[in-house]
Amino acid sequence: MVNVAYLYPWDVVGDPSAPSRLADLGVEAVALAASYHSTRAATPYHPAHRVLDVPYPAFYLPIRPASWSRLVPAVPTWTPADAYLQARDALKAVGLQVHAWTVLTHNSHLGAANPDLVVRNAFGDAYPYALCPSHEDVIEYCEALVRETLTLGEPDGLILEACGPMGFGHQTVHEKTSGADWTPADIDLLSLCFCKNCATRYPDQTRAVVRSAIDRTTTFSHHPEATATQKSASTARTATPPLSAEQALGDLADEVREARTTLTTTLRQRLIAVAKKSAPSVPITLHANPDPWSTGAFAPLPAGEPNADVLVANCWGDPSTDATRLTRLKTLTNEPQRVGAYVLALPPRPADPEVLADQLRTYSKAGATEYHLYHAGLASPQRLSALARALTLLP
């Protein structure tokens, strides 16, 4: 079992105590961010600061202009341009493996500068944080990101996150969307991309069906001029909303689902081909979800990926639901592929080693053979101590 602690470069650069602290955690490897989106991060251990604002996504390795085409990642100003290399060397000096945590299509900086390349919902609304891999420019950017990370970073492993189109959920800026009372089916439908390239992949009536399904709770019933009969009809129609995107799409579901998963599969396979060519011996980890309708950092993987070494499922929710997801992912693997559980060690999880250990056992029974621990730089000393203790409680 290889347990992996996730970390940002700025957690290590400028903090001489960081490597030994990570080594004492009891993990074998660190997932060190090589490319990452914007964030506001706590730095509870760093001698120079306690909060770091990261205003835009950046690449934490030197940028060689000739290696990029239309899309070029930004250089960080809050940490050295070679922060990944500095952190890598410090971590390897204490015996830790360093895996390159590579975030792909989640990039608000490039999306805002290139609105023709982002995900758009059925109403035409753009999601600037979400590059759409239906565009060749986006795929080429992701290929360059993988190639440069492996060539310059020389990691012990490669971790691919957001290896597909991001969806509606983002949780950035000041999120003000919960009051719309959209159902999980609505969120999935709002995550379908209708950019100029994606729209042609679906049956002609798909956009209209999606818009109608999302608007079913507002048509007539909330319009000031609606008649009592119209409101009554609308209430009856919306009393039992669809439980899933598939139900909302009806006969269109199979074709729409196939279009989405094919898009993700194309990106994933091209990136794996680049990785195998650039660094044949470096193992590849995918953040994945067996649900074909999934969006976000854990891209849909309904049929597995034989050329990946590790498939990691998100385990930040209800442990029983997470375990079900892990079990489904396990059925998609072939020997010697492994399944990892992406475990949250931050709130609302308690800083209790017994509780954390019990959750880890649940994930192990579901098929996980390694734990990916989020996040060794953000966790307080109490939480980090609880996590270290939880690992020692396991068989």
Task: Report the pLDDT value the prediction gives residue 241, as an integer from 0 to 100.
Answer: 63
Question: With bands split at pLDDT 50, 70 and 90, how would you rate the model's confidence at 174?
Answer: low
CB 91 within 8 A of CB 33: no
Task: Report the pLDDT value the prediction gives residue 181, as an integer from 0 to 100.
Answer: 87
Name the residue with higher pLDDT: 183 or 59: 59
| 283, two tokens | 């193992």
Alpha carbons 353 and 369: distance in angstroms, whole number: 19
CB 35 within 8 A of CB 54: no
Q: Averaged over 228-241, what is the pLDDT?
A: 43
Phi, psi of 342, deg, nearest 5: -85, 100
Task: Report the pLDDT value the prediction gives residue 17, as an integer from 0 to 100.
Answer: 97
- The yes-or-no verdict on residue 59 having pLDDT over 80 is yes
- The yes-or-no verdict on residue 237 having pLDDT over 70 is no
Q: Per-residue pLDDT tens for 185-208?
A: 999 999 999 999 999 999 999 999
Question: With bands split at pLDDT 50, 70 and 90, how would you rate the model's confidence at 238?
Answer: very low
For residue 174, with 0-12 CB atoms within 10 Å meaning exposed, 13-18 middle and 19 or more buried, which class applies?
Answer: exposed
- The yes-or-no verdict on residue 140 having pLDDT over 80 is yes
- Return the percentage of the chain with pLDDT > 70, whole number: 93
Q: 319-330 and 353-365 helices cross at what angle (nearest 10)?
A: 30
What does DSSP assign to residue 73? P
- The H or E element spanning position 40 is strand 39-42
Alpha carbons 309 and 297: distance in angstroms, whole number: 18
| 112, two tokens | 């805002």
Q: Averaged over 358-386, what is the pLDDT?
A: 97
pTM: 0.93
- The H or E element spanning position 21 is helix 18-24
Residues, the chain: 395
Q: Per-residue pLDDT tens for 283-297?
A: 999 999 999 999 889
Alpha carbons 271 and 163: distance in angstroms, whole number: 9
Question: With bands split at pLDDT 50, 70 and 90, how would you rate the model's confidence at 227?
Answer: very low
Name the residue with higher pLDDT: 175 or 130: 130
Alpha carbons 201 and 261: distance in angstroms, whole number: 11
Alpha carbons 188 and 177: distance in angstroms, whole number: 14
For residue 58, with 0-12 CB atoms within 10 Å meaning exposed, 13-18 middle and 19 or more buried, which class applies?
Answer: buried
Alpha carbons 225 and 237: distance in angstroms, whole number: 18
- Return the percentage of the chain with pLDDT > 90, whole number: 88
Bridge partners for 29 per DSSP: 4, 97
Name the residue with higher pLDDT: 215 or 329: 329
Task: Report the pLDDT value the prediction gives residue 305, as an integer from 0 to 100.
Answer: 98
Q: Averaged over 56-82, what is the pLDDT?
A: 97
Q: Per-residue pLDDT tens for 332-364?
A: 999 999 999 999 999 999 999 999 999 999 999
| 337, two tokens | 């592929």
Residue given tokens 């956009």 in the structure block: 207
Task: Report the pLDDT value the prediction gives residue 42, as an integer from 0 to 100.
Answer: 96
